[in-house]
């Protein structure tokens, strides 16, 4: 049922696993001897967070926040709202924000700005996917899984209308599914 809505598999389970391991090695090298605080932006990054945190051989804590950016089915708008804030104080911490995908940049430019005002020791952004063609707001991306073309993708945490998050791979959704 889920599979028949997928036009093409972009990244297999195996490819995702390898890439997550490589990002973990990069982070370990950059934060050697320090403790990091991983912040997962819900809901799309929960699978990535679960895999990356287990790949990471560094002391770390985890927290979660949720934002909604109002827009139509497949694009976000500039209006972002925090719907669930962090449980922990980030003052003086080395924060890495984990996102599923960096698209227009609206959500993350807003979110990173809020976090920087809370005086962490540092903030970096780690996104599994980057869709640079769609960028409206510039956002600095420190760790990137894969750069992808302008297509709507689902799976490995990413949804369309809250579905397909449980696919173990990342695939392009058939445009007829969302009326594209």
3-class SS at 100? Answer: strand
Inter-CA distances, 96 with 18, 74, 87, 177, Å: 20, 26, 15, 34
With CB under 5 to 8 Å by kind, the binding choice for 103 among ligand IMP, Mg ion, none is ligand IMP
Q: Report what 152 binds from Mg ion, ligand IMP, none; CB cut-off 5-8 Å by kind.
A: ligand IMP
Does position 44 interact with Mg ion (CB under 5 A)? The reply is yes
Q: Which residue is nearest to Mg ion (CB)?
A: 44
Closer to Mg ion at the Cβ: 44 or 105?
A: 44
Question: For this structure, is 85 an active site residue?
Answer: no
| Residues 85-114, interacting with ligand IMP (CB under 6 A) | 99-108
Binding footprint of ligand IMP, residue count (CB under 6 A): 17
**Torsion angle of the four alpha carbons 42, 44, 47, 50, in this order, in degrees rounded to the nearest 10:** -30
Stretch that binds ligand IMP, among 3-11, 57-65, 115-123, 148-156 (CB under 6 A): 148-156
- Closest-CA residue to 105 (of 125, 134, 84): 134
Residue among 70 and 92 whose Cβ is closer to ligand IMP: 70
If you search the block for the tokens 């719907």, which residue do you land on? 83
Q: At what angle do helices 13-30 and 46-55 cross, to 10 degrees?
A: 60
In angstroms, the CA 147 to CA 145 distance is: 7
Rule CB under 6 A: which residues touch ligand IMP? 44, 69, 76, 99-108, 152-154, 158
Rule CB under 5 A: which residues touch Mg ion? 44
């Amino acid at each position: 049922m889920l599979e028949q809505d997928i036009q093409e598999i972009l990244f297999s389970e195996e490819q995702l696993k390898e890439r997550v391991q490589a990002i973990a090695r990069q982070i370990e090298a950059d934060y050697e001897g320090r403790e990091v605080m991983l912040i997962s932006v819900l809901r799309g990054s929960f699978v990535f967070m679960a895999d990356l945190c287990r790949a990471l051989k560094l002391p770390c804590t985890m927290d979660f926040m949720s934002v909604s950016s109002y827009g139509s089915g497949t694009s976000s708008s500039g209006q972002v709202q925090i719907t669930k804030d962090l449980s922990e104080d980030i003052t003086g911490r080395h924060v890495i924000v984990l996102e599923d995908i960096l698209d227009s940049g609206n959500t993350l430019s807003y979110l990173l700005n809020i976090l920087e005002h809370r005086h962490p020791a540092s903030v970096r952004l780690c996104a599994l996917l980057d869709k640079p063609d769609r960028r409206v707001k510039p956002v600095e991306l420190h760790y990137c899984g894969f750069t992808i073309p302008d297509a709507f993708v689902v799976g490995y945490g990413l949804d369309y209308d809250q579905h397909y998050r449980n696919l173990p791979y990342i695939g392009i959704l058939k445009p007829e599914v969302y009326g594209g």
